[in-house]
Amino acid sequence: MKHFSKFILLVALFLLGSNLSKAELTKDPTTWTYEVKKTGEGKYNLIFHLKLKEHWHIWSMNPGGDGLQIPPSFVFKKNTNFTLKGKTTEAGAKKTETMDGVDGPVSFFENKVDYTQSIEALNNQKIRGTLEYQVCDESMCLPPTKKSFSFEITDATAVKIDSTNTDTTAILSANTDTVKKESAVTTTNKTPEDKPKSEDKNEVPKSIWVILLSGLGAGLAAVVTPCIYSMIPITVSFFTKKSKTRREGIINASFYSFSIIFIFAALGMLIVAAFGANALNTLSTHWIPNLFFFAIFLLFAFSFLGAFELTLPSSWTNKVDSKANTNSFTGIFFMALTLVIVSFSCTSAFIGGIAVLASKGGVWGPLVGFASFGLGIALPFTIFALFPSYLKNLEKPGGWQNAVKVTLGFLELALALKFLSNADLAKGWRLLDREIFIAIWVVLSILLGLYLLGKLRFSHDDDLPKNMFGVPFVSIPRLLLAISAFSFAVYMIPGMWGAPLKAISSFVPPMGTQDFTSNGGSAVHASADNATNGVQPPMKYADKLKIYEPEIATKYGLVTYYDLEEAKAASKILKKPLMLDFTGINCINCRKMEGQVWSHPEVMKRLKEDFVVVSLYCDYNNEMLPEAEQYDSKILGSRVETVGNKNADYQATQFNTNAQPFYFFIDEQDRKLAEEGYDYNPDVSKFIAHLDAVKAKYKELHP
């Protein structure tokens, strides 16, 4: 009955709200309270308690995903009277799931989460700082919010805690060293604590299965490299001949295979222990680690192409090999460890790729990725131990295995470029614009095809096999791979002129880096027509934000401004209404609206011909405002320091909403051309009708 009453109430509220404007300010759904716990003489834990309203979530401090999620951060103002001990930690029922429009699984918290920072305090003092966070629900993310905090340590028996705009006090019990909260800092009216949703803490993310299968496939692929392939008949024969019975030989070979899996699984566990569950993914979004990965993959590629051999120190191999024997399980384990070390020159590139892929899988990613990789390598040893008669069917290692290494070398070169592209996008160097990146991949694919056909040779390659007439020939597998390489090159070529290449869109740089397209030309406002009309092309922030421009806008040459004043100037000259596109870099529904609605021919025609579009990114916080332009926002309750803060404050102040996407229409004099804005609604006909009404209103005001 309780749930039914709640349902009736929601229906009533929906019917009531359907007649009201949807352009309403969404209040921050967070409730922050603070606690101080004394953990020892001069030692304290500063604890931030966060409660979230139902349906809202906050990103984890290591969110994963595609690097666009904004995790919470805590900045403590420097003070010589206290010392931070370790990093701020988070605790709660963390979820890791995949979301539409996000590359890879993301981690987040619902309902509540605690953040703890350990300190050592020398005396009574105030500890100040700022916290910044972003919260989202199923349909939108609010702009990042920054708040100030202040902890006051008075003595061992009382601690006063306060925060901006409120009087927050906590009393520390002298007997129990616990804090009783008397009041809380809130950004909404206090409400009873929401009941947590049922969660399956043991739920395995879908990406884990991808990592498992990828690791298994990589392990099986590594088997055909010379380092491992040549070891299979030798090792299996060794076990079968040295063992007293066939059963003993199978047991020893199976333990040998298990040891391989264990060694690689231990490597995955070591990564988790050393770097944390999502540290690799966090590193993968920063330009410096991406340059490092670029260099590493280049090293692997050159090794596979025959420039040199990657090997671990021989002293390691000799020391481990001296302990390897079949007299005990310990000796067999060291035999497996010897194989892992000796085969490093062939498996290193696979290990690097698995490490990067596994970083997307949270706590279990590295463990599953490396264990499945070891399973792929170990499987042939177990199978041939069970069926030793099949050993005679194994071909001797030869030229075909060198061809496998060279093919992998080309693939490593292609992947290396992806890491360089990540760094390039992060820093805005524009070294690898989309068409340049695609051009290099096209060349690599063609060279690989030529190599597979025997037209390109490397130093360690053998001659192609010969038929009964002594004429070199290409095997069917090599021919099929060559056809695939050439076909891939042909598929990519249109991308140099703006084709979307959806099959590899997650690998190539965004369309915003494309300098020219085949249908619409360059997405630059300084066209010949505009130049004669004296229209200022997009200048302010364009060099930084153009790379985030919607693909559909670039494809059709839609001009997009990023600064309101520039757009107003263009609107005045062109005598066109302004469409304020409140959007975000990390806005899933923004991308959906652009892909589903903007892409419609009638919509795009109107946007290009009848409007001046200005995209105001509310989460673009890489560009700091000059000190003189920074201010405190009353409506946001935070400091406006960045371009994103400014856009978010403008949206909330002028239009009483902070949701994205949201489209408002004004003229150059800031007069509204529609009573309501237009939010996320993929109904094309409705959006067209809205645009036409705005255009008619503009003509009415500008006869």
Q: DSSP string covering 526-551, please?
A: --HHHHHTTPPPS-TTHHHHGGGS-H
Q: Is residue 198 part of a domain?
A: no
| Whether residues 543 and 461 fall in one domain | no
Under the banding of pLDDT at 50, 70 and 90, the label for residue 170 is very low
- What's the pLDDT score for residue 211? 77
Highest mean pLDDT among 194-198, 317-321, 332-336, 425-429: 332-336
- What's the pLDDT score for residue 272? 56
- What's the pLDDT score for residue 602? 93
Highest mean pLDDT among 49-53, 95-99, 334-338, 495-499: 49-53
DSSP state of 391: G
Under the banding of pLDDT at 50, 70 and 90, the label for residue 185 is very low
When pLDDT is averaged across residues 531-560 and rounded to a whole number, the result is 77
| Whether residues 335 and 439 fall in one domain | no
CB-count exposure of residue 645 (10 Å: 0-12, 13-18, 19+): buried
Q: Is residue 299 part of a domain?
A: yes
When pLDDT is averaged across residues 602-608 and rounded to a whole number, the result is 93
| 321-330, 332-341, 363-372, 690-699, range with the lowest pLDDT | 321-330
Total domain count, the chain: 4
Considering only residues 585 and 12, tell me which one the structure prediction assigns the higher pLDDT. Answer: 585
For the chain, the average pLDDT equals 74
Q: What CATH number is associated with residue 606? A: 3.40.30.10
Considering only residues 192 and 137, tell me which one the structure prediction assigns the higher pLDDT. Answer: 137
| Helical pair 329-342 and 246-275, crossing angle rounded to 10 deg | 60
Q: Reply yes or no on whether the pLDDT at 402 is more than 90.
A: no
- What's the pLDDT score for residue 358? 55
Nearest 10 degrees: Cα torsion 676, 681, 687, 690: -10
| 177-191, 292-306, 402-416, 542-556, range with the lowest pLDDT | 177-191
Q: Is residue 133 part of a domain?
A: yes
Of 443, 474, 504, which one is at a domain's C-terminal end? 504
| Whether residues 456 and 328 fall in one domain | no
Please provide the size of the chain in residues: 703
| Whether residues 487 and 527 fall in one domain | no
Whether the link from the prior residue into 661 is cis, omega within 30° of 0, is yes
- What's the pLDDT score for residue 528? 36
- What's the pLDDT score for residue 243? 65
Q: Is residue 471 part of a domain?
A: yes
Q: Reply yes or no on whether the pLDDT at 319 is more than 70.
A: no
Q: Any residues with CB less than 8 A from the CB of 7 and at least 6 apart, and which?
A: none
Distance CA 182, CA 133 (A): 24
Considering only residues 534 and 210, tell me which one the structure prediction assigns the higher pLDDT. Answer: 210
Considering only residues 600 and 351, tell me which one the structure prediction assigns the higher pLDDT. Answer: 600
Per DSSP bridges, beta strands 179-181 and 170-172 are antiparallel
Per DSSP bridges, beta strands 170-172 and 159-163 are unpaired
DSSP state of 595: I
| Whether residues 466 and 358 fall in one domain | no
Q: Is residue 478 part of a domain?
A: yes
Percent of the chain predicted with pLDDT > 70: 69
Q: Is residue 339 part of a domain?
A: yes
| Whether residues 151 and 271 fall in one domain | no
Under the banding of pLDDT at 50, 70 and 90, the label for residue 437 is very high
- What's the pLDDT score for residue 531? 39
| Whether residues 483 and 566 fall in one domain | no
Of 186, 219, 253, which one is at a domain's C-terminal end? 186
Per DSSP bridges, beta strands 638-640 and 631-633 are antiparallel
Q: What CATH number is associated with residue 134? A: 2.60.40.1250
Under the banding of pLDDT at 50, 70 and 90, the label for residue 448 is very high
| Whether residues 354 and 248 fall in one domain | yes
- What's the pLDDT score for residue 403? 82
Distance CA 587, CA 658 (A): 13
| Whether residues 214 and 344 fall in one domain | yes
- What's the pLDDT score for residue 539? 85
Q: Is residue 38 part of a domain?
A: yes
Q: Is residue 341 part of a domain?
A: yes
Q: Reply yes or no on whether the pLDDT at 336 is more than 80.
A: no
When pLDDT is averaged across residues 626-652 and rounded to a whole number, the result is 85
When pLDDT is averaged across residues 531-535 and rounded to a whole number, the result is 55
Distance CA 535, CA 612 (A): 11
Q: Reply yes or no on whether the pLDDT at 217 is more than 90.
A: no
| Whether residues 321 and 233 fall in one domain | yes
| Whether residues 531 and 671 fall in one domain | yes
Considering only residues 305 and 276, tell me which one the structure prediction assigns the higher pLDDT. Answer: 305
Q: Reply yes or no on whether the pLDDT at 456 is more than 80.
A: yes
Q: Reply yes or no on whether the pLDDT at 478 is more than 80.
A: yes
Distance CA 67, CA 359 (A): 12
Range of the domain at 81: 21-186
Of 398, 426, 456, which one is at a domain's C-terminal end? 398
- What's the pLDDT score for residue 192? 35
Q: Reply yes or no on whether the pLDDT at 18 is more than 50.
A: no
| Whether residues 34 and 165 fall in one domain | yes
Distance CA 619, CA 141 (A): 10
- What's the pLDDT score for residue 692? 94
